[in-house]
Amino acid sequence: MTPRKGASNCRFSDPVSARHTLRNQTFEAVFQPLAGGRMLSLRHADHGDLIVSLRDASFPPAQWPKAGAFPLFPFHNRVRNAAFRLDERKIQLSANAANGLDTMHGPAHQRPWHVTDKGTSFIAMELVFAPDHDWPYHFTARQRFELYEDQLIVALELTNSGSMNMPGGLGWHPYFQPTYDGQVFTDAKTQWQENQETNRPEAFEPPHSIESCALQFGITEHFANWSNATARIGIGTTIALSATIGLSHLTLLRQKDYLCIEPTSHVAGAFATLPEPPAETGLCILSPGQTITGTVTLQVNRQDTSNKP
């Protein structure tokens, strides 16, 4: 079977009629399934915008704006030189134009999704992916968002729907409002870095306590074995993320205009460890029909209503 061409340079379609809005007494969330299954905005009744709002989702799929929140299937972060080895052969992917020779964050957020179920406070979306130049395997990805009084719960699911083994993982990539003080507090037990010679990720014991991580602008930090991460964003709103064991890795990035706290199933660079990824990298080799899942909970401190630092 010859793979189809991957994501085009055409823009996503963003008709207002295709957007979906969830509301309860605390939150309002807007989604555009046609634009990569994205959350466009998330507002809190007391604290306003929690993520950087994406007002126009009609952008080229491979040149995504740093706003909203999108799903990470079937991998996150970079695959160096857009290639890896599996089953004694080299798998070549299409590079992202914005990332040189590399590809980044998987093709799922560059494809239209469709809604499978919806209520006033929840929405479920699905992507049935057929092989193309961006990814040569069949998979089905699902995400479900549900609003509660003081929580947003995001459930992710990836199934190998093909007939061959497939490397894969999942995650969620929100662009939160900029951090108030540059601090992210987490109970992560491990930190990772990329070996510059081999491009393989390596775990190490950090020289300081991970509990309080002072992020530098533009430096991506990678952690693992975490269950909670807390930060103050905007002008002082406290957010807390927690995740199930299926999302045991965590990526943090601080920029002037946003803060990324990304729960993921595997460490960045894990594809460099193929064809036999160590268990601690979190990267799975999914057999046909196999499914992996992960759930993220985002909680906002409802006591912090003064909006003052």
β-pairing, 284-286 vs 259-264, is unpaired
pTM: 0.92
Asked if 154 and 296 touch (Cβ cutoff 8 Å), the reply is yes
186-206 per-residue burial string, b: 16 or more CB within 10 A, e: under 16: bebebbbbbeeeeebbebeee
pLDDT of residue 43: 97
Asked if 256 and 175 touch (Cβ cutoff 8 Å), the reply is no
pLDDT of residue 308: 35
Asked if 285 and 75 touch (Cβ cutoff 8 Å), the reply is no
**Alpha-carbon torsion, ordered 166, 167, 171, 174, to 10 deg:** -100
Question: What is the mean pLDDT for each group of 10 consecutive residues in the chain (309 residues)?
Answer: 56 93 97 98 96 96 95 95 92 84 94 97 98 97 96 98 97 95 90 87 73 79 94 93 96 96 96 94 97 98 45
CA–CA separation, 258 and 174 (whole Å)? 9
